[in-house]
Amino acid sequence: MNRRNFLLLSAALLGTRAALAATDRNVGSIDDMRKNWKELLAKNADVTLSVEPLDRSNTVWRQLLTPAQYQVLREEGTEYPGSSPLNNEKRAGVFVCAGCGLPLFTSKMKYDSGTGWPSFFTSIPGHLANKKDYKIIVERDEYHCVRCGGHQGHVFDDGPAPTRQRWCNNGVALRFIPA
């Protein structure tokens, strides 16, 4: 059996799409997609590349965001699984913070986790930060946009190889810009 057939058979036995997709990912390609994320950024896209912290009052945020965006970004809410159109977004492009326009993920970093939330196995370097969140019994890592502090989601360690990361993001906290 050649290597490709072996990998396909292994993936079939595991029964997961993530395992199959993992065969064309390696540590080098992950580094490249993190480093070269701007390749997927549309020219003249309405984004910010500054990570200078934004200081806006809750009153201002309420004017700028929809109630659903406000609940997730400013109150660390979680949207219903399967509710975001971004679950099915398959085009090439960049996902930016819905609060402040800072790019957070690219389409190359996205995978179908089957959870009902847009999921990514890595992220754009330096644009997200973590803090511990004990809202559920199992410890999980909350992460947020470094520019506006908006809550995006939680990162788990059950994602696909080689990162094993699953950045489980609220779709309502993101805006997609096609390349």
**Positions in the binding site for Zn ion (CB under 5 A):** 97, 99-100, 102, 145, 147-148, 150
Burial 98-128 (b: 16+ CB within 10 A, else e): bbbbbbbbbbbbbbebeeebbbbbbbbeebb
Question: Measured from the CB atom, is 22 or 170 closer to Zn ion?
Answer: 170
Question: Measured from the CB atom, is 97 or 109 closer to Zn ion?
Answer: 97
Concerning whether 148 is annotated as a catalytic residue, the answer is no
Number of neighbouring beta carbons within 10 Å of residue 60:
11
Number of neighbouring beta carbons within 10 Å of residue 32:
13
CB of 135 to Zn ion, least distance (A): 21
Q: 105, 119 in Cβ contact below 8 A?
A: no
**Residues in a beta bridge with 142:** 131, 154
CB of 83 to Zn ion, least distance (A): 20
**Catalytic: which of 97, 100, 148, 168?**
168
Question: Measured from the CB atom, is 97 or 168 closer to Zn ion?
Answer: 97
CB of 159 to Zn ion, least distance (A): 23
CB of 145 to Zn ion, least distance (A): 3
Note the helical H segments in the chain: 3-14, 17-22, 27-35, 58-64, 67-73
Burial of 59 (0-12, 13-18, 19+ CB in 10 A): exposed
The residues annotated with a catalytic role in the active site are 168
